[in-house]
Structure 1
């Protein structure tokens, strides 16, 4: 787990690792210049070079029947469909389901070389604006009887979908490629692996509510207030614990609707029981 430790230390210093074909993450070999987080993501994407994969696996494309929505963006549909070849090359074994409303991808990331733990991502890519892409992560491991959902930290309420970045930090937008988004999901899963193995989330994170910080953050993690240089214990913890915890819990429940983060049963069935994905519009209603 030496590489996992090194990657965690680099993320704490705002140094981002490289994601290779198959979702294999390796430590960065260079230190980034002084810049904001969003700018660094942009530069990392531009510099990332991918070797031609030494192996190929046929993708399995399937089509499911769903009633078409009233408005489909021809731009998004054309853009995403043109990217399928690159996705299948970069993430071998990708499964694709086509629907009138969009498409579904199932991809696998190996995360670290010579490790049995892998991450599976089921990603809904709608063609309809303003729906946004959603994805769910699951662990795949020979030691697990069946795939397990990755969460609940840094997942969305209430459907447990991946929350890998703040929309305002410009880490990814619809102008960027799906491969880049899958790379971000891969790094999100690696952070979860680090959390499980070392007991702390590595790198910058955003946790807006004090109650969530108090109940989820480790003292040695970077503070969720957005401060990328101070640990939680040194930054907001004293202020957070001085607040009325019951009042802060009520405030947080008002934001989340008192819900828990749980993936929809239809999503779990795709991963565990190998069923076809549901209609995208059904999932987007969560």
Structure 2
């Protein structure tokens, strides 16, 4: 892993959520360590999306749930404006405006640099945006509309937007199915970027339903099924068959695609 573990940067305990007569989550525990890529995997309907939406503030947790960042309690189900600042998200839809440039998209979440008279300082905005995206080495023209960028470039802009103002601070980046819209040839480059975030000391919660991605990228994996946490294991201790059995709850045959190169 990227850094020595000193305790969880994110801890969630006894997380439950009910929608009418449906128990979406039941007493789920989850810990993400600094400098680790922690995968969250489960079949459709397992509760992955509900868990992420609670962390992101779209749903409230049931009473009794506990959440901490670096030991500091925070409220589960808070609206985005009041959510903990060191818990950042890149959702599957990315939340970008294709007609706007990377400069404008990053400014939508953190504002424009302005003079004392309120004018936008465009050179500073370009410098700031370039510094955020160039660390990932993809050569993005931050002045062009994002509709002209490649899928992996747009994903990098979304990650850069999520990490704004986070330099030198421990936190957790949540990536929800980040490869869903990527061509196969760009998946390996995204994995390199995720590893860079981990190696800088952040915790990464990587949500996926694809086992090949888990074995290529993750340090640990938590399996949820039927709204419950089934297991949390180091990936090095698992095989594709064992992971599939944890997900399905029964013995089963599984195929495993070759992983993208590290």
TM-score (norm 2): 0.34
Say which structure, 1 or 2, has more relative contact order (CA 8 Å, 6+ apart): 2
The structure richer in strand per residue is 2
